[in-house]
Amino acid sequence: MSAAPDVSAVKTYLLGLQDGICAALEAEDGGGRFREDAWTRPEGGGGRTRILTDGAVFEKAGVAFSHVQGTKLPPSATAHRPELAGQPWEALGVSLVLHPRNPYVPTAHANVRFFISGSSAPSSPATPPVPRPPSPVTPTWWFGGGFDLTPYYGFEEDAAHWHRTARAAVAPFGVTLHARMKKACDEYFFLKHRGEPRGVGGLFYDDFNELGFDQSFALTRSVGDAFLPAYRPIVAERKATPHGDRERQFQLYRRGRYVEFNLVWDRGTLFGLQSGGRTESILMSLPPLVRWDYDWKPEPGSPEAKLYDVFLKPRDWLI
């Protein structure tokens, strides 16, 4: 059922996805432009990090592609698959976090990624040949990805549109997939120290190879391609909503939760920071301006309380 993994096809798709998303975001912003930092890492591979700051719509938008390789997978990365320890590996992905200026526009995150390890993990032509280990093993690979939405002032119809688009993206690949990936998203983007979801969720999957390479890759393309149709209409609808200092201060306060999640709980962020990843690319996800207020609580019945009461409760947005 499964064709051999085609790393080069994944890479081509991801580079195009980054290009397409950046172009659309610039068009939606109408003013800001992405600047690009290309970087390499001594152990192999590199990336291109694109950041738009101080746009008309996006206060900070980061859309990063990376493709990193190693000759020996560390044991810590393979606790549940010890046969992979010491094998060559590659990881590719596109990751984005968008922090809009207008508090009525939600923050959005999306990520699609591919990992492959084992003796037939091809080395990139741009890097030195990977030494073959003495005992080659069958390559192991998986896809991961998803997207999630973090409103400040929520709208039921926006949440429904977001989840409807997510469901449509994965529905062709299996009838149970959407429910599973929606639940995984709710569980992953959860601030345990607050007992609070990060936002209204979306899709999350990892270690995904159950459909074979071709279909797992097609699913991942479908998810990556669904991000713009899921998010852009919400931005277009809300970006001109009038607002004042009250909404701005609430937005800054709620951005603190984004920082807390990413620095305390997000596996990718922590693994990256603790394993010598490129700090500035990893932390491009952090909001441009953030406030913390000791023990702040919204006034009951206020628009700020509605975020907690209506949107920060896991629920089925499609019924």
Q: Does residue 97 touch a copy of itself according to CB under 8 A?
A: no
User: Position of tokens 């590719």?
Assistant: 92
Rounded Cα distance between 21 and 24, Å, is 5
Pick between residue 295 and residue 316 the one whose CB is nearest to a copy of itself: 295
Interface with a copy of itself includes 299 (CB under 8 A)? no
Q: Which stretch binds a copy of itself (CB under 8 A): 20-28, 82-90, 175-183, 267-275?
A: 267-275
**Identity of the residue, 5 or 277, whose beta carbon is nearer to a copy of itself in the bound complex:** 277
Q: Which residues are tagged catalytic?
A: 109
Taking CB under 8 A as the criterion, the residue among 288, 309, 313, 315 binding a copy of itself is 288
How many of the other CB atoms lie within 10 Å of CB of 160?
A: 14
Tell me the C-alpha distance between 88 and 83, whole Å: 12
* Per-residue contact string for residues 54-73; x = within reach of a copy of itself by CB under 8 A: ------x-x-----------
Please identify which residue in 16, 24, 37, 160 interacts with a copy of itself, judged by CB under 8 A. Answer: 37
User: Is residue 279 part of the contact set for a copy of itself (CB under 8 A)?
Assistant: yes
Beta bridge partner(s), residue 141: 116
Q: Quick check: 315 binds a copy of itself (CB under 8 A)?
A: no
Q: Report the distance separating Cα 173 and Cα 315, nearest Å.
A: 23
Least gap, CB of 59 to a copy of itself (angstroms) = 11
| CA neighbor of 110 nearest in space, from 179, 203, 10, 208 | 203
* Cα–Cα distances in angstroms (integers) from residue 301 to residues 92, 148, 306, in the given order: 45, 26, 7
Binding of a copy of itself by 289 (CB under 8 A) = yes
Give the one residue of 2, 19, 74, 292 binding a copy of itself; rule: CB under 8 A.
292
Does position 193 interact with a copy of itself (CB under 8 A)? The reply is yes
Q: Which of 36, 43, 157, 293 binds a copy of itself (CB under 8 A)?
A: 293
**Residues forming a β-bridge with 144:** 113
> Minimum distance between the CB of residue 180 and a copy of itself, rounded to whole angstroms?
26
CB-based contacts of 155, cutoff 8 Å, min separation 6: 238
Q: How far is the CB of 289 from a copy of itself (least distance, A)?
A: 5
In angstroms, the Cα distances linking 125 to 46, 176, 204 are: 13, 39, 31
- When asked if residue 270 is in the footprint of a copy of itself (CB under 8 A), the reply is yes
What does each C-alpha distance from 121 to 40, 84, 164 come to in angstroms?
19, 12, 36
* 294, 300, 301, 316: which one binds a copy of itself (CB under 8 A): 294
- Least CB distance to a copy of itself at residue 92 (A): 22
Under the binding rule (CB under 8 A), the answer on residue 192 touching a copy of itself is yes
Contacts of residue 273, defined as CB under 8 A and 6 or more positions apart, other chains included, come to: 279, 282, 283
Size of the site for a copy of itself (CB under 8 A): 33
Q: Does 53 bind a copy of itself (CB under 8 A)?
A: yes
- 270's CB contacts (< 8 A; 6+ apart) are 263
- Residue 313 dihedral angles phi and psi, to the nearest 5°: -130, 120
d(CA 275, CA 278): 9
Positions touching a copy of itself (CB under 8 A) are 37, 51, 53, 60, 62, 192-194, 252, 256, 259-260, 263-264, 270, 273-274, 277, 279-280, 282-284, 286-295
